[in-house]
Structure 1
Amino acid sequence: MNTHPFATLSPDRLLDLVEALGLQPDGRLLALNSYENRVYQVGIEDSDPLILKVYRPSRWSTAALEEEHGFALELAERDIPVVPPLIINGNTLHEHAGFHYALYPRRGGHAPELDDPDTREWLGRMLGRIHALGAVEPFAHRLSLDPQRMGRESRDHILAQGLMPAHLLPAYQSLTDDLLIDIDAAFARAQGYAVIRLHGDCHPGNILWTDQGPHFVDLDDCINGPALQDLWMLLSGERAERAMQLSDVLAGYEDFHPFDLRELHLLEALRTLRLMSHAAWLARRWDDPAFPPAFPWFASGRFWEDHILALREQAAAMQEPPLSV
């Protein structure tokens, strides 16, 4: 018997969530690509479809969810291109049948062309505007980027979970012991950077591009942290390529918000923390029935071999000097 909380999200239950807000769904439901939460396109009678986002129970407090929505609304009020939740009956966050949820307008677009310098500079300008507002005050109820939580706790969870083949455990533990020391050293070198409100998960899949430029979606992971957390995922390729890409991004970014060059010490540490925390996220969610079919490779020995190899590459990258711009 499936006892996961999302198991009760039948089509009828999903339509009930929409009807509880006084809207009339037409019965059309399309599941969208989301695993942490559940997201659907919902047809509405005599109107455009809406996006229904049902939050994973117990992940965020009500105050933290409201803070995410408030940040999105603040950005939208300043014509910064994000997709905020709709205000319905005076609220953006709703609760029904044991679930918190929100409705969003449907927005199309495609991934940004990150090999174009003009696109990179445009994205930099938008992120500079987001961070200028984010720097006004920190979140009170959301997490802060924490290398202990993302690194050490992720590593310890993987070691305890039992999904990694036993013969790989000694290599993984030794490697991550060294990486955690290097990550702490990187944060020590960058000491003094400003902690601001961030998008938090600003990978290209969360940026939709149209003829009018970019708009940012999915603030579900918005946190307090260093500005670089929202920039480094726009970079790829060899070291020289990444330096050029970062220069383009900062050319636009610094039109609206200063960038502290000390944060460049964090770049490879942040990449390493994302690798470690992503693996731990999959391990923590493995009891969710949506995860094994979506990530069948995760429980294989090949995945863990590749993961250790990626972490070894990060260990080497963290010994290099920071990018220069």
Structure 2
Amino acid sequence: MDYYALTPDVIIDAMMSIDLHVDSGLMALNSYENRVYRFKSEQEGAFVAKFYRPGRWSQAQIQEEHDFLFALAKGKVRVALPLVREQQSVFSFNGIWFAVWPAVAARQFETDNLDQLAALGEQLGRLHNVGEQFSLVARASQSVSDKLAVAREVLMTKAAIPAKLKDAFFTQLDALIARTCDLYVVNNTITLHGDCHASNILWQDGPYLLDFDDCAQGPAVQDMWLMLSGSRQEQLLQLDTLLDGYEQEREFDRRELALIEPLRAIRIINYMAWLTARWLDPAFPANFPWFNTPDYWQQQLGVLQEQLQQLNAPPLSLTSWG
């Protein structure tokens, strides 16, 4: 089936294939990598269905994501668990893998609320306690240098970078990649959420962690740094608050603070490459109209230059904080 032809009738048929009836409220949610829909069943309540983009994850890799969620729930981490039918949580309809979750009735996580940040830190500590014991086998790890080489190739071959900018852009990109690889030295990896930002967290008397689609092996700080924003002093306060909660559950290796700016560089590069690689998907030009224009690439050249400066600056440190 064409992934771009997930019409309401197809979605309803897919739900009926697992004996789940769509009675009202079928609505597409903001998701670009996968297709996600919310609906109501009169008998069983509100649900969210996710149709996985073909070719991105295998059934085994999706199942590993779900198995991690079940392990997290046993470890008292607040996560939404996928629906199970006949001992299965990964389903297929017309060649597309999908899964269904009960909808969480909650409000958006507030990144500027220190009480919520501390509670998130505690949940991340619990998550990482489980992640330390849970190995991802189906999702083979790839080195940062290999990932960034793939991203560079996508940008070189598919991005509409103006000819007059191309040499300067790739000179700066190569310098940033080289410096990032030099600085990204990881002493210990665990299984992580992998994409822990505010849009993947809800609040209902505590944080709920959602969307483990990008769960991966990595350093603990990878699940924290996206919560930091604003001035250096503001980031130190946010970090200190997160760690107050985190270290109620497990110790945090302060050496990992030096990985924050390399992780930011990795995200910047991969985000550009992701948008480039997905540009033929009709959802992307519609939702990112500012991308792939001459002005965008001029701005990104400045972003690369600024990030290289950040890599050469002293990393965040809590030794003189508080």
Q: Equivalents in 1 of 2:236, 2:150: separation in Å?
A: 31
Contact 1:150 1:276 in 2 (8 A): no
1:104 is paired with a residue whose SS is strand
| 1:193-233 alpha-carbon deviations (Å, 9 max, x no partner) | 211100000011101112x1110100001011111110000
1:85 and 1:216, CA in 2 relative to 1: closer, same or farther beyond 3 A?
same
- What is residue 275 of structure 1 aligned with on the other side? 268
2:195 corresponds, among 201, 222, 238, to: 201
Decide whether the 8 Å contact of 2:75 with 2:127 is kept in 1.
Answer: no
**Distance in 1 (alpha carbons) for counterparts of 2:23 and 2:11:** 12
Alignment of 1:70-149 (within 5 A): 70-144=67-141, 146-149=143-146
For the Cα contact (< 8 Å) 2:23–2:40, is it kept in 1? yes
Describe the superposition over 1:91-129 as per-residue Cα deviations: whole angstroms up to 9, x where unpaired: 110112111001100113333222232222111111010
CA-based RMSD of the aligned residues comes to 1.6
| SS at 2:207 equivalent | strand
Equivalents in 1 of 2:145, 2:98: separation in Å? 30
Q: Are the structure 2 counterparts of residues 155 and 25 from structure 1 closer, same or farther at C-alpha, using a change threshold of 3 Å?
A: same
Report what 1:226 is aligned to.
219
Q: Distance in 2 between matches of 1:196 and 1:37?
A: 25
Say whether the 8 Å CA contact 2:33–2:53 is kept in structure 1. Answer: yes
Offset, 1:175 = 0.6
Question: Which amino acid is the alignment partner of residue 136 of structure 1?
Answer: Q
**Letter of the aligned partner of 1:138 in structure 2?**
S
Which one of 260, 265, 270 corresponds to residue 258 of structure 2? 265
Secondary structure of 1:299's aligned partner: coil
Paired letter, 2:163: A
Say if 1:168 and 1:305, in contact at 8 Å, map to a contact too.
yes
Structure 2, gaps ≥5 residues long: none
**Scaled by the length of structure 2, what TM-score is found?**
0.94
Over residues 23-69 of structure 1, what are the superposed CA-to-partner deviations in whole Å (9 max), with x where a residue is unaligned? 22225411111110000012323331211110001100111100000
Match of 1:213 among 167, 183, 206: 206
Q: TM-score, normalized by length of structure 1?
A: 0.93
CA distance in 2, matches of 1:45, 1:62: 30
Aligned 1:1-325 pairs, distance under 5 A = 5-26=2-23, 28-144=25-141, 146-187=143-184, 190-191=185-186, 193-210=187-204, 212-325=205-318
Residues 267 and 145 (structure 1), Cα distance of their counterparts in 2 relative to 1, 3 Å cut: farther
- Taking the aligned partners of 1:57 and 1:171, their CA distance within structure 2 comes to 35
Identity of aligned residues (%): 39
State the shift of 1:241 in Å.
Answer: 1.8
